[in-house]
Every structure is written in structure tokens, then in C-alpha cells.
Structure 1
């Protein structure tokens, strides 16, 4: 069984390697209602969600919770920080703290991220890098492009949230390399090509590399 940290090690070696992403919600979820932690000493993370007309709750490991929140913070604030502490807000959102910073994420933002993360894994979204953009594909054959707009990543899918399934997969692939966006990664890669100075890990990444995901169950 692999954790998010294991996934990072795979992506650091080469983005075209197969990666197994942990899932803790079932296929067919229609809505994530709430993400929180129990009030006892264990502070166990949980997700309340719907599968059709059934309201369900699943508990999962704190380590995985913190790793996924690191991805959400990277998407929302374009920063890479290890999560040290999480608190729930009175509105149902999350206050996330690192060693030096803190962020408050709205309930809707958190819920949508956890829903979209599982959609990305179940749809087996893959990521390919081109010189000027990234392309995601799913098992149904749908392709979406992640481009740069005003120096920010923009996915051309119909999802209105920044943490769409495609940007989540892109961020998972790029965080181990020290980037939070496709825009920053491609700019750095193209700059290195222009100057002719290649860092060691650039030799490991093909121009048209692909990042694959496979779902594995964990709690």
C-alpha cells in the first residue's frame, strides 16, 4: 500500500512512471458534505458524503489528511509548506497551519477538493507535458488543457473550482519537483533549455512525459 509520500518519490524519479494514489471513498459518490476531525483526543479525520440517497461517513489516517491538505494549499496559495496543524472553523472550513504560515479554507473549497481528488483517481486522469502547456486525459478519452493565464494555471474544463481533478493531478506530479503550477514548471524548463544549463533531475524528464494514476484503497 502506498501513501502520498510514496507517490512523491515516484514522481521525483520521472513523471512518466505509474503512480498509485490512495482512495478512502467509494466510487459513485455524488457529493462531499463535510470534512472534519473527531472531537476526542485522536482527532481522527473524517469525510461525510453522499452516494445517491445514502449519507455515509468514512474515517481515514491523519498522515494522508495532512498530505492532501498540502496539495490543496499549493493549489489555493501557490506555496509549498508541510502541514503541522489543522483546526475546524465555526463555518465548517479548515484553518491550516505550517511552521510559519496559516491559511483558512472555506468549507465549499475543502469539500470540492476531496470530491475532485477521488474523481481524478477513479477516472484515471493522466498528465502529459508539452512545451507550452499540459494535457490531461481520462479513461473516457476526454482531454483538457492546462494553460497559463496572467501567470496562473487555467484548466479548460468546465469545473469552476481551481482544484479541479486535472489541476490536482498536475500538482501531485509537480510538488516533489519543487513546483506548484504547470506555468512555473514549464517556464523553468524552457529557461533551462534556452540557457543550455540543465540541472541533474531535468535529465530524468522527457519532453512529452506522462504521469499515470491508479487507485488503491486505504483508510
Structure 2
């Protein structure tokens, strides 16, 4: 594969439609081409939306089927239901905080998030040296995720994987770590899993190695 053809394979690689051999060759190219690495990251929102659409569309439904006239009504009803549930959780959280305050100052409660608040977790792997922080916000369609990651051992293509409590796995976003760059990088992605349904997040290299693991909500 010529160099120009490798540049043209960015979209196919980011969307996961390259065959295994071409994907392997493109990953070798990705380690030496910062332009392609940046473009792979830019395709994150597109691949996320396609993934969410695929999961939400039954196999029997044609992918280009138009929405029915009552789709908006159903979406608005679901949003209203989630907002009411969020307000109930907020009231329970306030009641619990009052109980803790009355119990005395010796008890401290640490949490990564609350009702309607983002869930934030971070971790550093002592073996790989990779540090990552995940901030996940609940959405009607799943979880919107921001990742900040530091990896000075690049260059290497990586991805963030959300592992559900039921064992399912979803790729949240992917990127290519620049060579010997210890600065934190920020990426955004999404998953059909709601934050409460995520058991853990894993930063993985494309060879399958887990670089750092972060707990879920």
C-alpha cells in the first residue's frame, strides 16, 4: 500500500471497515504520521453516532427508514420521565446528607457524582505509567464521556472501552498517542451504556494490552 493510499484509509480505519491486514498496516503508518493520528481522533463523534444508531435500530428495520410521526412525542416523554427520576434522586441525596450531618463530624462521604451530576473517576497504572480521568454524564441515549489521558510511552494507537455490568463492551473513543509526549490529552466520545451501567473503563492498546483500568459509577 502506497503512502498516499494509507492517508486515504483514515476514515475506513476510524469507522472499523478495514480488513484485519489493512488495519494492521495502517496502525504501523499511524505511529509515524501525526496528521493521520489527528484525523482518526476527529472521526470519533461520527463513529460514535453510527454506533449508537446501529444499536438503536432493530435488525428487521431498514437503516434508512424515516422516523414515525410519534417519535418526537416518545422522546419527549422519556426525557420528562428521566428528569422526574433525577429530581427524586436529588431529594433522597439531600435527605441523606442531613442524616449524615446530624450523625456527627467524624463521618466523611466521598463520591464521584450525584443526582444529575457527572461521574468522575481517575487512576494511574503503576506498570504502564498511564494516567487517565473519565468524566461521564448521563444522557437519554446512554453516556457522554470525556477522557483525559497521559501516556509518555507512545507512539501507539489506543482506545477507551466501557465494560458493562452485564459483560458487554463498547469502544467509547480511539486515538493515537504521540511519541514521548507526557502532556494530558482530552478526547470525547459516547456509549449506549448509561454511567450507572458501567462496571469499569479500560484504556487499551490495539494489541489488546490494558494500560489502565478505572472503576465505573
Which is higher, the Rg of structure 1 or of structure 2?
Answer: 2
Q: Which has the higher contact order (CA 8 A, sep 6+)?
A: 1
TM-score (norm 1): 0.27
TM-score (norm 2): 0.27
